[in-house]
Amino acid sequence: MSDRDARPVNEDIRLEKPERKAHRRHTGISLSPRHKSHSKSDQALLTISELARELGVGSHILRYWETHFPDLRPLQRAGNRRYYRPDDVALARRINHLLNNEGYTVKGAVKYLSSEDQKDNKNASEAEESLIKAGICQQWQEELRSISSMLSDALTTE
């Protein structure tokens, strides 16, 4: 009996099979965020494919979001080519985070973002109002200082 006959049959098969390398199927969509070494600046316009690659979603998803999120309005040039401004990119990132990380539905994310906009508008109007009040207070302070100096001048001359 040889050594080969003494080994179990399964072991022979394992030794004869070449090792397979685990590989990931290339889908064309990068799941990692855009690296800072990317050739475009943060203020540059992104095409739909660049933004889709950055977010890890398909371009059809971005077009779908445009129909449901009224604030997501990229520039459209010749041939309906979409260019996303920095504000649009930030909003798309926010939408992506709400949908894919926070677990919101599209309807829920729309509702959340619209309520957030209302809060921002309310805060902006309150800030505007406080600036107006501060301006009025500053005018009153100047008038009071003027009156005070007039009274002190009148008292010192007598």
Phi, psi (rounded to 5 degrees) for 75: -70, 140
Give the model confidence (pLDDT) of 48-61 as tens digits: 999 999 999 999 99
Report CA-CA distances (Å) from 68 to 95, 107, 113, 134.
Answer: 11, 8, 11, 40
- Residue with token string 């685990």: 22
Q: What percent of the chain has pLDDT over 70?
A: 65
Q: Is the pLDDT of residue 67 over 90?
A: yes
pLDDT in tens, 120-130: 666 666 666 67
**pLDDT band at residue 94 under the 50/70/90 scheme:** very high
Contact predicate 42/86, CB 8 Å: yes
Nearest to 85 by CA among 64, 106, 71: 71
The confidence score (pLDDT) of residue 34 equals 46
pLDDT for the residue numbered 54: 93
Q: Is the pLDDT of residue 83 over 50?
A: yes
Please check the confidence at residue 42 and state whether its pLDDT lies above 60.
yes
Whole-prediction pTM: 0.53
- Of the listed ranges 1-5, 14-18, 64-68, the least confidently predicted one is 14-18
User: Is 81's pLDDT higher than 70?
Assistant: yes
